[in-house]
C-alpha cells in the first residue's frame, strides 16, 4: 500500500503547511527506509510512529516526541480516506462492470428462444466472471420431482437430480443458493459429482422452482458472496429467458394449430363447395337420363321397346358416366375418393361373394317354390338358360358403371354434404330411392327390387369404400336373377 503514501507525499504544498502548523520538521519513510518527505539530517531527536492502513503498517512518521502522535493520526486519517476512495472507486467500477454484463447478457438472452442455447450463453457469461471448471443447468420437468440436465460445460456426471436427494437435491428443494467450498466436509454430499468446491443457485420464477445452476471447481476454491450474487442474477435472467422460450414455443404451437385448423376449414369449405356443385350436376344428369329413357319408351312400339330400352339405357349410361368423370376431373378431386381404388380389393371380393351366395340360394329356393305353387311360373323351369346372351357379358361393364355413378359419386357426395352420426344412413337411403326411381321406366316391380338391393350395396360400399365388392355383387345378383327368369316377372 506504499502507493497511498507516495500519492500523499506528492502534495508538497500540503506537507509544507502541515510542518508550519506543527512547528517542527518530520519525515515520511517507507518500510524499505526510503524517505518520501523531510530531511535526512539529525534524527536522534525524532521518534518513529507507524502509519497504518487498517491494521497493516505501510510506513513510518518521524517527528519530535511532542508532535509525533498528532501528525501520525492526521496521516492515518488521510490514508483511510484514500483507501475509502479507492474502495469506492473499485466498487463503482465493479458495479459498472456488473451492470454492463447484465445488460449485455439480457440483450443476448432476449433474442434466443431455445432453452439449451440460452443455457450455453449463460454458462459462457458465468465463466467470464466466476472461476469454475464447469457450469451445469438442470430443469424441473412438469409435475415432476426430478431435474433433468439441460446443459453442462464440464464433465459433471449427474444427468438427473431428485428433489431432496443428495447435496444438489437438497439445495434445489430448499430453493436457496449455497456456497460449499469444501464438499468433502458437507454431510449432505453423497459423491454425486467429482468436485471440491461448489456454488449452486436454484432458478426460480413466480415463486416456483424451475431449475438449478451449478458452478464447480475440481480443486479447492473459495467462492465468495459476490460470486453467489452474480450467479444468482444470471440464474434469474436465465429463468426468465427460458420461461419466455417456453411461452414462445407454446405460442408457436398454438399458432401452427390455428393455422392448421384454418387450412382444414378452408379445405372443408372448398370440398363442400365442390361436392355441392357435383351433387347438383348429378341430380340434373340423372333427371335428364330418366326423362330421355321415358321418352324412348313412349316413342317405341311394343315389339321393339325392349331393344330400344336396352340400347338407349346403355348409351345414356355411358354419356352420364362421361359427364360425371369430366366434372370430377375438373374439380381436382381424386377418383379414389369415389371408390375407384383397389385398396382392400381381396377382402371386398370375399365379402361380396360371401353375402351374394346366400342370397342367390334364397333366390333358387324362391323360384322353386313359385314353380311348384303359382300359375305364373307353372310352365317355367328352374333355370332359363335361353336367357343367357350378350347382355350378360356387357353387364360386366354396366354393373361397375352403375355402381360408380350411384354409390361412388351420388352416395359419397351426399355423405360429404351431410353432417352428424347418421350421414351414412341418410346417404344410403337417398341413393336407394334414386336408384329405384331410375328403374321405374321398366316397371314398378323392377324399381322395388332395385330399391331393396341398393340398401345392401349401399351398406357394403360404406363399409368397404371401394367399388370392387359392390360391382361383383351387383353383377352376380343381376345376372342370376335373369337366369332364374325373374326379369320376365319384373
Say what the pLDDT of residue 389 is.
75
Total-model pTM: 0.48
CA distance 232 to 199: 10
φ, ψ dihedrals at 66, nearest 5°? -70, -30
Question: Running DSSP on this structure, what letter comes out for residue 64?
Answer: -
CATH number of 114-253: 3.30.450.40
pLDDT at site 276:
75
DSSP-assigned letters across all residues of 229-276: HHHHHHHHHHHHHHHHHHHHHHHHHHHHHHHHHHHHHHHHHHHHHHHH
What's the confidence (pLDDT) of residue 135?
A: 87
Q: Is it true that 2-102 and 114-253 share their CATH fold? A: yes
Q: How far apart are CA 36 and CA 234, in angstroms?
A: 47
Under-50 pLDDT residues of the chain: 302-303
Q: What is the pLDDT of residue 348?
A: 93
316-337 burial code (b ≥16 CB/10 A, e <16): bbeebbebbbebbeebebeeeb
Is the separation of the CB atoms in 428 and 470 below 8 Å? Answer: no
Domain boundaries 2-102, corresponding CATH code: 3.30.450
- Rounded CA gap, 115 and 128, in Å? 20
Angle at 323 between CA 321 and CA 324, to 5 degrees: 65
- How crowded is residue 114: how many other Cβ atoms within 10 Å of its Cβ? 13
Strand 146-152: give its sheet, edge to edge. Answer: 160-162, 146-152, 134-140, 208-217, 197-205, 178-180
**With contact defined as beta carbons under 8 Å apart, do 272 and 417 qualify?**
yes
Burial class (CB in 10 A: 0-12, 13-18, 19+), 213: buried
User: What pLDDT score was predicted for residue 299?
Assistant: 53
Note the pLDDT of residue 431.
87
pLDDT of the residue at 467 = 92
For 431, the grid coordinates are 341413393
Domain ranges of the chain: 2-102, 114-253, 334-489
Amino acid at each position: 500500500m506504499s502507493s497511498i503514501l507516495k500519492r500523499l507525499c506528492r502534495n508538497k504544498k500540503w506537507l509544507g503547511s502541515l510542518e508550519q502548523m506543527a512547528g517542527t520538521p518530520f519525515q515520511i519513510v517507507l518500510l524499505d527506509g526510503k524517505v518520501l518527505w523531510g530531511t535526512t539530517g539529525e534524527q536522534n531527536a525524532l521518534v518513529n510512529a507507524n502509519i497504518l492502513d487498517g491494521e497493516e503498517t505501510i510506513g513510518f512518521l518521524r517527528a519530535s516526541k511532542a508532535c509525533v502522535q498528532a501528525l501520525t493520526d492526521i496521516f492515518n486519517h488521510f490514508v483511510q480516506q484514500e483507501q475509502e476512495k479507492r474502495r469506492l472507486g473499485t466498487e463503482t467500477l465493479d458495479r459498472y462492470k456488473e451492470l454492463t454484463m447484465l445488460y449485455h447478457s439480457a440483450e443476448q438472452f432476449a433474442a434466443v428462444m431455445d432453452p439449451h442455447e440460452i443455457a450455453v450463453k449463460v454458462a459462457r457469461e458465468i465463466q467470464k466472471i466466476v472461476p469454475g471448471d464447469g457450469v451445469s443447468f438442470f430443469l424441473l420437468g412438469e409435475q415432476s420431482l426430478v431435474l433433468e440436465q439441460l446443459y453442462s460445460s464440464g464433465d459433471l456426471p449427474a444427468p438427473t437430480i431428485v428433489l431432496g436427494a443428495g447435496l444438489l437435491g437438497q439445495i434445489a428443494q430448499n430453493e436457496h443458493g449455497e456456497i460449499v467450498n469444501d464438499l468433502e466436509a458437507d454431510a449432505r454430499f453423497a459423491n454425486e459429482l467429482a468436485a471440491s468446491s461448489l456454488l449452486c443457485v436454484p432458478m426460480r420464477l413466480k415463486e416456483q422452482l424451475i431449475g438449478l445452476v451449478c458452478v464447480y471447481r475440481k480443486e479447492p476454491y473459495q467462492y465468495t458472496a459476490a460470486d453467489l450474487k452474480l450467479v444468482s442474477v444470471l440464474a434469474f435472467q436465465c429463468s426468465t429467458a427460458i420461461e419466455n422460450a417456453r411461452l414462445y414455443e407454446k405460442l408457436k404451437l398454438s399458432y401452427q394449430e390455428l393455422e392448421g385448423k384454418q387450412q382444414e376449414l378452408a379445405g372443408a369449405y372448398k370440398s363442400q363447395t365442390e361436392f355441392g356443385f357435383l351433387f347438383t350436376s348429378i341430380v340434373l344428369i340423372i333427371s335428364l337420363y330418366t326423362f330421355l329413357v321415358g321418352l324412348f319408351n313412349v316413342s317405341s312400339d311394343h315389339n321393339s321397346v325392349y331393344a330400344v330400352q336396352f340400347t338407349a339405357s346403355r348409351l345414356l349410361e355411358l354419356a352420364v358416366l362421361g359427364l360425371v368423370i369430366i366434372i370430377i376431373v375438373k374439380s381436382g378431386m381424386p377418383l379414389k375418393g369415389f371408390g375407384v381404388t383397389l385398396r382392400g380389393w381381396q377382402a371386398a371380393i370375399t365379402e361380396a361373394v360371401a353375402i351374394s351366395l346366400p342370397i342367390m340360394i334364397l333366390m333358387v329356393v324362391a323360384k322353386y317354390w313359385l314353380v311348384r305353387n303359382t300359375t305364373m311360373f307353372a310352365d317355367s323351369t328352374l333355370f332359363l338358360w335361353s336367357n343367357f346372351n350378350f347382355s350378360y357379358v356387357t353387364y360386366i361393364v354396366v354393373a361397375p358403371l352403375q355402381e360408380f355413378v350411384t354409390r361412388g359419386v351420388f352416395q359419397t357426395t351426399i355423405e360429404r354434404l351431410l353432417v352428424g352420426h347418421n350421414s351414412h344412413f341418410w346417404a344410403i337411403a337417398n341413393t336407394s330411392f334414386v336408384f329405384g326411381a331410375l328403374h321405374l321406366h321398366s316397371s314398378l316391380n323392377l324399381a322395388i327390387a332395385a330399391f331393396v338391393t341398393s340398401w345392401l350395396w349401399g351398406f357394403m360400399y360404406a363399409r368397404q369404400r371401394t367399388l370392387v365388392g359392390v360391382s361383383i355383387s351387383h353383377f352376380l345378383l343381376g345376372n342370376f336373377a335373369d337366369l332364374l327368369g325373374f326379369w320376365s316377372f319384373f
